[in-house]
Structure 1
């Protein structure tokens, strides 16, 4: 007898074994993810704008999920930044609109595009494939020039790149696959090979931010299953963190002109975030994040109550109080900060910071909401949303978070797609409840 047409449960394992995407939306997403690691951010933003217009037009008639749940906080953030923007240089205002608007647009495009994917496994499989490809390209640079492995951290990062977020996201996806049995890669050996490539790329990137991402995925996806033990571990880690912050050893300085090792970068992580008015050139260079944060707070403090509420507006530069030279170009102010919270504080005030945190809260709340659903895929999606949001909160402190238009782009895209999938699950659950 000829089998009936339609979706057949018996075929699902074969579909889960497929790692290479074949459908047009999947190929487009894979190309976009890999391209974002090597192409200028301007090109990726232009592509995202075209996709945004296409998805909003919705020529295929699937428009029931046009409303983006995080739209209101971003609209408030944009409004706060534009209130005092008149009078600032139009070019600088446009830059800030790009930083903030690009984050909102990426999340919205990803949210809408999630409907075009083959469920959660379809989404995660693309990110895993992209992470493996980018990790392989990164490692090929060491294969071409093995002497890089004996070079200093600065030389390695100059020649081979500063690392990519996609391999870390690939490892996070694999953790979810191993923890919840999603069937992204059915055979164990290919799964471990994918994980090994991604881990090698993360290791050779010598990036603290990538390890923070991995640790966050590990704690959320695995650690929450052992909450009591993790609370004890968190208490110990907190005590160590406080001790490091209070310790004079954390403020040691390297000799001027010396190249810091990766272990020294780790040791100095807390010291370089310390907000202070550094005067010595070597101190400013070594603790740049703390110095620019100090100057941002000084810029913010110059205003009155209204400025404290809505900021100085998009286009406001952060006065450095000195003239610096970068690539033969002199400058005495900067348009953006490593600390995304202070960036918002200067440009959009307390209202902007509150709107941004409100969006993050809504994301965590949406992740927690689908944890109540029974399917393993729903729980995996919920924990991934929570993990990514927590990582973004941390990344906002050190690399501008969502406002980092280049390096953080794959993480922003994954967060938006997971939120889109979560919205579909909740919408489906609501339809079932109304039908009953």
Structure 2
């Protein structure tokens, strides 16, 4: 392994831990070095869309600071940090391949090795931390960490490549990697991870029948309707006095439908829904300009004192429903740009029905579904620790497609 590949492996592996500031700084340094080396800045549509959201939010923060003098520098910086990570990581992945600094298959293997290393380490902890396998379940998810959420990305890559008769390592090794990744996902006992895994396995069929875009549009329509019309849905809270996975799963829909709740028990059981409602209510309190452009970085929701007895959480800067986060900070325009980003990231050509390019397109669509889903329930790409590996690999495959298009001629693919 070359020194640059080893350094990249260390960065990708360490990014899975809570060192977001270090990861961001190192990413910026690598980008700077590559830009100086290339003496060229590449234009990436997906990055421009995300940067536009940041510009809108920053501009509204500046306007609010002039008119109300209430802008907190800490809250502005916190939001800016949450939002700036995504376009930087995406651009890093793009630049690595577009500049041909590293070879595509090499960096793809490095991504898989980085994720797999942590996945195996977490799985190996089970015999040492559990006195009985009966602990496996919601309690193991809360008290232990036997899974690795980025195992989903490994499934995306290995599954789609092998489905199209390509191997990342070799067929036998790829199968072992796939099994380990799926075990890691199952050990998460995460409803979101299970749903995403199901979507990943379904994507090739959707793509084959040109249904992937239709399903994506349908989900987007549901998400937007849920934000503005969730109160119209008659959703009842399931009885979840226990924390079993089955009980939580039965209450999944109730947890995400945005609506006002009055009962404290309902609020506790459906915190994500009520949290999103408070964010929507804060957004709707804005003036006409803020409805279009948002309330900017630093906009927060103060939780009622009685919810947490004045402890743990007094303000909410970002929401489990990432679309509410975007809506509050950058308004309807920002929400439109974010949805456009997801649609742009999912763009593929149906003219390539076999070979490596088809595998890459399937990876691209799968990652788009991942971002769409996680943005609905687990913050998405805007969080203290942005999904570094997912965004970097998305940038990698976008650049790979453009490089291949340049090699064979831009008219070959309708992309």
Match 2:122 to one of 138, 141, 151: 138
- Which is higher, the Rg of structure 1 or of structure 2? 1
| Pairing 1:125–2:109 present | yes
Q: Distance in 2 between matches of 1:184 and 1:269?
A: 36
Aligned-residue offset at 1:246: 11
Aligned partner of 1:116 in structure 2 is 101
Q: Deviations over 1:76-126 (max 9, x none)?
A: 21121012213210111111111111111111111101233323x334322
Alignment of 1:367-406 (within 5 A): 368-369=348-349, 371-373=350-352, 376-406=355-385
| Pairing 1:277–2:260 present | yes
Deviates more, 1:213-222 or 1:103-112: 213-222
Q: Distance in 2 between matches of 1:162 and 1:339?
A: 25
Q: Distance in 2 between matches of 1:432 and 1:80?
A: 35
| Pairing 1:48–2:33 present | no
When residues 93 and 29 of structure 1 are mapped into structure 2, their CA distance, relative to the original with a 3 A threshold, is same
When residues 405 and 24 of structure 1 are mapped into structure 2, their CA distance, relative to the original with a 3 A threshold, is farther
Pairs aligned (count): 392
| Pairing 1:253–2:239 present | yes
Aligned-residue offset at 1:152: 5.9
Q: Deviations over 1:248-271 (max 9, x none)?
A: 89622223xx4x111222111111
Q: Is this contact kept in 1: 2:85–2:386, CA < 8 A? A: no
Gapped runs of 5+ residues in structure 1? 1-21, 236-241
Q: Distance in 2 between matches of 1:148 and 1:54?
A: 51
When residues 162 and 297 of structure 1 are mapped into structure 2, their CA distance, relative to the original with a 3 A threshold, is farther
Alignment of 1:287-298 (within 5 A): 287-298=270-281
Match 2:73 to one of 80, 83, 90: 90
Aligned-residue offset at 1:359: 1.7
**What secondary structure sits across from 1:402 in the alignment?**
coil
**What secondary structure sits across from 1:386 in the alignment?**
helix
TM-score normalised over the length of structure 2: 0.85
Match 2:322 to one of 317, 340, 344: 340
Q: Is this contact kept in 1: 2:47–2:90, CA < 8 A? A: no
TM-score normalised over the length of structure 1: 0.81
Aligned-residue offset at 1:57: 2.1
Aligned partner of 1:68 in structure 2 is 44
Aligned-residue offset at 1:347: 0.7
Gapped runs of 5+ residues in structure 2? 66-70, 219-225
When residues 287 and 118 of structure 1 are mapped into structure 2, their CA distance, relative to the original with a 3 A threshold, is same
Alignment of 1:180-259 (within 5 A): 180-188=164-172, 190-225=173-208, 251-255=237-241, 258=242
Aligned partner of 1:165 in structure 2 is 149
| Pairing 1:423–2:402 present | yes
